[in-house]
A and B are shown apart, each in its own frame.
Chain A
Amino acid sequence: MSSSDSHAATRPLLLEELEPLATGAWILGAGGGGDPYHAYLNMRELYADGVSVSLVDPLSLADDAAVAVVSSMGAPLVGEERLKDPVMAALAVQQMEQHLGRRFDAVMSVEIGGSNAFQPLMVAAVMGLPVVDADTMGRAYPEAQHSSFAIGDLQPYPLTLADVRENAVVVSRVASWKWMERISRKVCTEVGSVAATCKAPRTGAEVKQWAILHTVTQAIRLGDTVHDARRRKADAVAAVVQHTGGVLLFSGKVVDVARRTTEGFLRGTAKVDGLDEHRGQEFRVDFQNEFTVGWVDEEVRVSVPDIICILDATTGEAIGTEALRYGQRVKVVALPAPAIQTTPKGLEHVGPRAFGYDFDFRSLFGDGA
């Protein structure tokens, strides 16, 4: 597809793009965000029923357009039993419309990484809205204050949260993005650790200034790249690195994984023993839902906000932090962080210090990449 196509104001999202979107979004999940399988399955079923959604270029949004920002919040494990549902996804948005007393013009995802890449698609399918080709993280992150709208100091409220029993909560005012995270997380836990949310509504102008643009298209192309490499029996990981301008950090096999669930997050450390050109070396990576910092032989090699991905060495399929296991043969790659996250203000929100590490961010891709 040529670049002019992707910048047409609105275009239909094709059935054939759903599977690449799932593959690409799972890679951009940086180990978190949840496997998009159920969300993808929902969309495939909707398309089979004749429903389709369209993708709108954020740059074509009117300044006063009303944009819903959506996510599914909760623990991936719960999502394995309480399956994603488009009607439930839309419930939070309908609740927000009722609260605001006005309709939305479009819907976008809080994060392109993992299953939330599909959340706006499901809402769009139910409500007949276009999906904005953008998100607020360019990947997955664990908390509300990690979004680019938080970096932009935009207003964090109101938020609506809905669960499948038609419980709905409006968080009408909070003191900060961190308070929004704490309060909404508590409500989410009470309804069984899975809920659909609609974050603070945004104007078209805010989206154009602060969102991370064209990430849906980027995720689809990333997925296409992987599928294409598999079809050609070429090196899928090398294709990912080449396509994204990323770096292959390490090849090896997983030899140790330690996990603990604290404060609603999956935290832990994984170790990878080097193979090939990394034989004799060890890669260690920390995670809090997503991969945060990676060391090679005890020296920091990569950190947030650069996107750390652990991929199956053969298929290029992303491996989530919950699915890492002893003996997997993997390749670790780093993809460049969205520019806004490497600014001083961005690093306050998503740099290593924001995740409790006592060192400064050094990009693998040069400053201001």
Chain B
Amino acid sequence: MRRIGIDVGGTNTDAVLVENEHVLASVKTPTTHDVTGGVRECLRLLVEEELRGVVGRVDGVMIGTTHFTNAVVQRRDLQEVAAIRVGLPSGRSLPPFVDWPKDLARLVKGRVFMVRGGHEYDGRPLVDFDAAAVRRAAREIRDSGIRSVAVTAVFSPLTPECENAVAEIMLDEMPDVVLTLSHDLGRIGLLERENVALLNAALIDLARRTTRAFSEAVGESSVEAPLYLTQNDGTVMRAELAEAFPVYSFSSGPTNSMRGAAFLSGLADAMVVDVGGTTTDIGHLKSGFPREANRTVEIGGVRTLFRMPDLLSVGLGGGTIVDSDAGAVGPVSVGHRLTSEALVFGGAQLTATDIAVFKKKPGNEPSGGLRTGSALAGLETRVALVNDVHAAFAAYHNAVFIAGFSRFQRISDLHGLGSG
């Protein structure tokens, strides 16, 4: 069994070729603005440089990406969405998008329709399903130019009938519509399930573009293997499924590193601290998989309720900007521009990486592809400044990790792992 795993982070794109339990090769490139450039470059390096073109049979390419969650958090690449909720006369006073942050609602909220229908918890219809109202809504949506529609019905996780009926009518009126049905995504909790469906619908075009570009990148390389995307729960799904359900990949970045930590350490139960370029994520491995949060999880300020790893994410990573004048650390990061903007790479921006390198003493030769000569000389002139910032940085750093560990300590205690 040979697999290629690619992790597309905000800063770096990493790839490994794994044969059974062994890592045969690993490469790292900066994440490109178009996201897939890094993937293409990783595959090229892996195949041409590391393996000299002899990649042999590969059973699968797995990609994990924070692209979709970043789109929501950073309010970009989202599309306008129509919402159809089936449940009147219930729920009239709390319509779709009711508790969304205003800036996000402005980007995503298109036409909103509430129609009669839905079910009781015991499977009885709440009221008769209003098919005529759905058909009117379908025509309005078609004429409005909105292409992505989220459908939510009362008690649909138990009785999906009404959502399926809406899908049938929508497709009849508008064959090219893209539908997200809430019962495919969530459990009991109407507003939270609807929110997940709306977010999914808002990401559909981005998901298509991204997964297809990933597929093309793989296709252009000499690797012939099916493409998978990693999911929030630590498992993988076929790229075609990821196109329809981008929300399943919301947390795939940190989940990747947690699964990777389990693989590399051989430990099934552990705490994992993933220091990335933009954030540091702390999570808990239980039987080799991320422990799930058992409550509402806010994504970009939207309340959701679905299977997500329980993570403590703090805005402190290698690219985190250190403002020496204000004595402030983060949360903004130079991200994938680390290798051009950080001081140690000859840039003008003081970052967490500069602090870490400087901590190893300026005389010491830092490892890797750092341009050490003039850049580091420039750094030396900032000794006093960096020392001051370092104290503040260390205090912040400690507070972050104490908060993280104390949160997970109780869980480790219970599993007899001892405490950190």
**Do residues B154 and A81 form an inter-chain contact, with CB atoms below 8 A?**
yes
**Do residues B188 and A42 form an inter-chain contact, with CB atoms below 8 A?**
no
Contacts of B188 in A (CB 8 A): 77, 80-81
Closest Cβ–Cβ distance, residue B95 to chain A (whole Å): 9
**Do residues A42 and B121 form an inter-chain contact, with CB atoms below 8 A?**
no
**Do residues B411 and A327 form an inter-chain contact, with CB atoms below 8 A?**
yes
Q: Interface size on A (CB < 8 Å)?
A: 26
Chain B residue nearest to A38 in the complex (CB): B94
> CB of A175 within 8 A of chain B?
no
A80 with B120: in contact, given A87-B92, A87-B93, A325-B294 (CB under 8 Å)?
Answer: no
A83 with B411: in contact, given A192-B120, A192-B126, A325-B294 (CB under 8 Å)?
Answer: no
Interface residues of B in 282-300 (CB under 8 A from A): 294-295
25 A–B contacts, CB within 8 A, in A order:
A38-B191, A41-B98, A42-B93, A45-B93, A80-B189, A81-B188, A81-B190, A82-B126, A83-B91, A84-B93, A85-B90, A85-B93, A86-B93, A87-B93, A164-B89, A165-B126, A166-B89, A192-B122, A192-B124, A255-B414, A326-B414, A327-B410, A327-B411, A327-B414, A329-B410
**1/0 per position for A78-120, CB-CB distance to B under 8 A?**
1011111111000000000000000000000000000000000
Q: Identify which of A42, A192, A255, A323 contacts B94 (C-beta below 8 A).
A: A42
13 A-B pairs besides A38-B94, A81-B154, A253-B414 with CB distance below 8 A are A42-B94, A45-B93, A77-B188, A80-B188, A80-B190, A82-B87, A83-B90, A85-B90, A87-B92, A166-B89, A192-B121, A192-B126, A255-B414
**Do residues B295 and A83 form an inter-chain contact, with CB atoms below 8 A?**
no
Closest Cβ–Cβ distance, residue A281 to chain B (whole Å): 16
> CB of B127 within 8 A of chain A?
yes
> CB of A225 within 8 A of chain B?
no
The A interface, classified by DSSP as helix, strand, loop or mixed, is loop
Closest Cβ–Cβ distance, residue A33 to chain B (whole Å): 18
Contacts of A325 in B (CB 8 A): 294
**Do residues A165 and B414 form an inter-chain contact, with CB atoms below 8 A?**
no
Contacts of B191 in A (CB 8 A): 38, 83
Q: How many A-B contacts are there with CB distance less than 8 Å?
A: 69
Interface residues of B in 72-108 (CB under 8 A from A): 87, 89-94, 98-99
Chain A residue nearest to B93 in the complex (CB): A85
State A42–B94 Cα separation when bound (angstroms). 7
Chain B interface: which size bin? 20 to 34
Interface residues of B in 212-259 (CB under 8 A from A): none
> CB of B113 within 8 A of chain A?
no
A42, A85, A323: residue with the most chain B Cβ atoms closer than 10 Å:
A85
Closest Cβ–Cβ distance, residue A189 to chain B (whole Å): 10
**Do residues A165 and B89 form an inter-chain contact, with CB atoms below 8 A?**
yes
> CB of B155 within 8 A of chain A?
yes
A253 with B410: in contact, given A81-B154, A192-B120 (CB under 8 Å)?
Answer: yes
Q: Identify which of B87, B99, B122 contacts A41 (C-beta below 8 A).
A: B99
Chain A positions within 8 Å of B, measured between CB atoms, are 38, 41-42, 45, 77-78, 80-87, 164-166, 192-193, 253, 255, 323, 325-327, 329
State A100–B88 Cα separation when bound (angstroms). 29
Contacts of B94 in A (CB 8 A): 38, 41-42, 45, 83-85
State A165–B88 Cα separation when bound (angstroms). 9
Chain B residue nearest to A328 in the complex (CB): B410
State A166–B191 Cα separation when bound (angstroms). 23
Chain A residue nearest to B303 in the complex (CB): A37
**1/0 per position for B31-54, CB-CB distance to A under 8 A?**
000000000000000000000000
State A77–B414 Cα separation when bound (angstroms). 29
**Do residues A164 and B99 form an inter-chain contact, with CB atoms below 8 A?**
no
A83 with B89: in contact, given A78-B121, A192-B121, A326-B414 (CB under 8 Å)?
Answer: no
Contacts of A164 in B (CB 8 A): 89-90
Contacts of A166 in B (CB 8 A): 89
Contacts of B92 in A (CB 8 A): 85, 87
State A119–B415 Cα separation when bound (angstroms). 43
Closest Cβ–Cβ distance, residue B269 to chain A (whole Å): 14
Closest Cβ–Cβ distance, residue B126 to chain A (whole Å): 7
